[in-house]
Each structure stands twice: as structure tokens, then as C-alpha cells.
Amino acid sequence: MSGARALLAEVFGAAAEAEVRAPGRVNLLGGHVDYNGGLVLPLAVPRFVTAVGARRADRTRRLVSEGFGEPVTLGAETPEWARLFEALVQVMLQAGVPVPGFEVALNSDVPVGAGLSSSAAAGVAVATLVLRLAGASASALEVARWVQAAEHRGLGVRSGLMDPLVSAGARAGYVMALDCLDETYSLLPLRPELAEVVIIPTATARALAASGYNERRAACERGLAAVQARHPEVRALAEVEPAWLDAVLDPDDALRCRHVVAEVARARAGAAALAAGDVAEVGRLMSASHVSLRDLYQVTTPELDALAGLSAAAPESFGGRVTGAGFGGATVHLVRPGQAEAFLARVEGALEGRKGWVARPTDGALALG
């Protein structure tokens, strides 16, 4: 019996009717461009939120999560940790999903605050579970849009589409090349004989709503508005030419916009390199991305910078960068095949026992029962 099934039985005395797991993610390239209409290169990682549930005869919706204490009834003074799920139920109801009453239990091995998208994975797991309990279906894109809307409404985080879409729709062995402007994507193989992905969490967890995430997004929106005053045909910052950024007069806003425009170009080049099997070029672009996130977007920390610098110089590594929003969290590295353990030993020796793991690209949300 899974931990979530045992929790459901212990707390609610219920037998699971359905079980779903949804993965976390890392992003190789495209830092902070998802909400600016750019291309991103994420993949799902084998760390999962598992959700199990049973229907109720009434419309009461109850939820318990391992590590968060007492169970909650959604809509009745919902505590902060459960507000995502309360908002998600409302979004799904508004979309026409016949959400039943339910009892749901969650557990997770996605580290919270590590920049691996634990919140989006939890939202995708619960949304997919609720669909099964309701006898309904939806595409990965629909699920991702619901979770994105719930994060905006329930958590106050103006997140992009990337995190929930990867958690919902990724495929094992592939990187998702997602165009966030038209919401289309292709799948690019990441062959293990060419490179391995290594994730290294830092000691600093980050909270998006309490960090500068929303401020960075607001800076991009101000910059876009300044450019659109001269170029009204532009739909998103990802379409802006570098020379047009002289319209952005605020110096901090200009820094943020310069990062986005350059990062979009890096992500496009990275997608082409990945398609050609040129993982060394992908790694070089990842290291350049980190420098831009450090100097222009200013979302890194000294520990993140140390890890990225070590990755850029280590013979085992092609390159690496902060993944997720920054302000703490984790780094992602592209490492030579068969060299992951040597790279991790180098990191542990240089940075006070900092540990990481190899992450093979995995499937998106799966129904387990």
C-alpha cells in the first residue's frame, strides 16, 4: 500500500478509488521567459506528488497532506497550504467539470522550495485525480491551465504555464520545447549516451509569493508596455528585438527585459543544439543563462552562483544553471555520460557536503489505479 493510500485509510477510513502521481520538473533553458511568451526547455524529473482519493455521497471536499497536520475541509477557513486546492476546485467547476465530494490524501518526495515545482505537481496530481473521480477527462493543456489559474487565485503567484504543463504532459526520455506564446510544444530526445541531468538543491528554500518573483514579472510588463508604445504589433517580450529596448527607460526594468530577450535567443539555440545532439552547446548556453540570471535578472544567490561556476569549470560537466524562479532553490547541470558520480563527488567536496542526484526525464501525470 502506498503512503498516500495508507494516509487516506488512517485519516478518513476510506479505500482509494483512484491514485495519480505527477512529477516535478527542471528547466534546461528559458529562465523567466514562460510568462513572457518565450521558448522553454523543461523536463519532468522522477520526484512525485502522489494523490489518492474516494468519492463522498455529499458535496463535502476533504483533504489531508503528509507533513501538514490535520485534515481540512475545503471552503471552511482553508489554511494557507490548501488554498491551491480550494482554488483548483473552483476553477474546475467553472470549466464545467462535475467535481464530486471527495476525500483525498497526498504525499510527496518533491522537495518543497527547491525550485522543482512542487506546487504545480501537487495541483496537477489533484486535478487529474478529481477528473478520474468525476468520470471526466481533459487534455494536459487544459489541466495545466486550470492549475495555473489556481496558482494565481489561491497562492497569489502569477506563474506561467510551463510548470503545470510539464508535470501533466511530459514524456520519458524527452525535453519539452514549449512555445509559451502560442502554447504549442514539441518533444526533443535527451539521449543518456550523450548526457545526464544532475540536480543539486541548495540550503536555501524559496517562496515565490514572498520573493521578488511578482516584481520581476511586473518589470517585464512595464518594459513591454514601453516597447509597445512604439511597436504596437508586439504581443510579448519574447518578440522584442534587442535594439527596441532603448524604449525602456527605467534602469532596473531594462535589465530584466535585456535578460528575457537574450534568454529567448539562448533557448531557441538550445533547442536546435539539442535536436542536433550537440549537448556541449546546450551546456554552454545553460552556463550563459545563469550569468544573465545573476547579473541582469538578479535572482540568484551566492550558493547558486558557486554551483553554476563549478559546473562551468568541471571537466565532467557541460554546464549548469539555476532552475525555477531562483531566490534559492536548486541548480540543474548537464553532465557527461558516466561522469555524474564524479561530478557529484566534486560538488560535495567543494561545497560543504552539498548533495544531488541524477534525474532521468520521466513521464508526466500517470494514473496508477
Catalytic residue among 163, 246, 295, 363: 163
Do 3-188+363-367 and 190-358 come out as alike in CATH topology? no
- pTM of the full predicted structure? 0.93
CATH label, 190-358, candidates 2.30.30.60, 3.30.70.890, 2.40.128.630, 3.40.50.800: 3.30.70.890
- Closest by CA to 256, choosing from 181, 330, 161, 326, is 326
Beta-strand relationship, 61-65 and 102-108:
parallel
What's the pLDDT at 209?
47
25 and 167 Cβ atoms separated by less than 8 Å: yes
Told to judge if 246 belongs to the known catalytic residues of this protein, a careful annotator would answer no
Name the residue type at position 363.
D
Domain boundaries defined on the chain = 3-188+363-367, 190-358
pLDDT in tens, the chain (369 residues): 579 999 999 999 999 999 999 999 999 999 999 999 999 999 999 999 999 999 999 999 999 999 787 899 998 778 888 999 999 999 999 999 999 999 999 999 988 877 788 999 999 999 999 999 999 999 999 999 999 999 999 888 778 899 999 999 999 999 999 999 999 999 999 999 999 999 999 877 665 545 688 899 999 999 999 999 999 999 999 999 999 999 999 999 999 999 999 999 999 999 999 999 999 999 999 999 999 999 999 999 999 999 999 999 999 999 999 998 888 889 999 999 999 999 999 999 888 778 899 999 999 999 987
Specify whether the CB–CB gap between 354 and 348 falls below 8 A: yes
Cell, residue 152: 494565481
State the Cα–Cα distance between residues 281 and 264, nearest whole angstrom.
Answer: 15
H/E run at residue 149 = helix 140-150
Half-sphere exposure for 351 (CA within 13 Å, toward CB): 22
The hierarchical CATH code for the domain 3-188+363-367 is 3.30.230.10
pLDDT of res. 210: 54
**Predicted pLDDT at 208:** 54
